[in-house]
A = this chain, B = another copy of it.
């Protein structure tokens, strides 16, 4: 250890040292510590990795002045309590999904993904350039919270089915694990949506407790093993762009000096992008594995008559919500208007291109 210079007690000298110290930016001296709660199990692929990368990257960017400690759900035991914990300041940041809070704050529903809604690039364009961030702020601000896009899982699959869905009759009484708003839409058509804990899903589907379930897509379905016990894999309609969320306590945010705020803001944006890209990769690789191991998987898209009925039920539910709440109406209308514009572009760009590659 280097010997430190002995400081003599002359007051003039101390004053000089303090003055020298004051010339530095105040922030350079101080380490800021933030606690982050994830909704995911420990070492969760993709999501958990992105959070690990974020904490490491933030540490490096700040020269060790911003230290984020992350707790997976085994630590805080409240994967769906993150809104409350971050609001109360028990945690400074959460990594979760906005629509988990719809039972508590109904308008949080709209900032993850919507049935028949925007695809991932369309929705990011809406968030950052189409007014989405401003609307999200208006929902979260009264709770002393800041919400940022937290990474997209891409288009989720419609789920695993034991029987083919050929018409509306096949939905009547269908017992399906499908939570959230999509479950409400299906219920309108006579299905019996239910939620079942992840650990019991496989046996529920195998034993016929349920007839169908949706989880995510190949990126995370592969390890669940559903492809071994259900022959039909339906394409998605209900979560075309599931966006995760960084939820930040506003007081924690305001305590950070400007440079660390910017480091955190940019790191969260890079993490969101990384989750989108990483999920895309995992989906591609895992889908290839599934098809190789189980070439008999039958990929289906719901027939038009079912899609139309689902779309109509969805529109009816949205009309009810819009009528009940002016801010909900504003969000729903903003999304619909933006979707119309963005989809017209998607149709002549990516969609036309992808279709032209098939023949």
A351 touches B344 (CB 8 A): no
**Which of B287, B342, B344, B359 sits near A280, CB closer than 8 Å?**
B342
Number of interface residues of A (CB under 8 A): 87
A60 touches B259 (CB 8 A): yes
Q: Is A278 close to B, CB under 8 A?
A: yes
Q: Is A1 close to B, CB under 8 A?
A: no
Q: Is A17 close to B, CB under 8 A?
A: yes
Q: Is A258 close to B, CB under 8 A?
A: yes
Could you tell me the distance between the alpha carbons of A355 and B349 in the complex, rounded to whole angstroms?
Answer: 13
B343 touches A236 (CB 8 A): no
B217 touches A61 (CB 8 A): no
Chain B residues near A16 (CB-CB < 8 A): 5, 7, 13, 17
A119 touches B259 (CB 8 A): no
Chain B residues near A343 (CB-CB < 8 A): 357
Q: Is A301 close to B, CB under 8 A?
A: yes
Question: Which residues of chain A from 276 to 335 have a CB within 8 Å of any chain B CB?
Answer: 276-278, 280-281, 283-285, 287-288, 291, 299, 301-302, 304, 307-308
Q: Which residue of B lies closest to A342 (CB)?
A: B284
The 7 closest A-B pairs by CB, nearest first: A235-B352, A129-B281, A155-B349, A125-B281, A273-B273, A60-B262, A284-B345
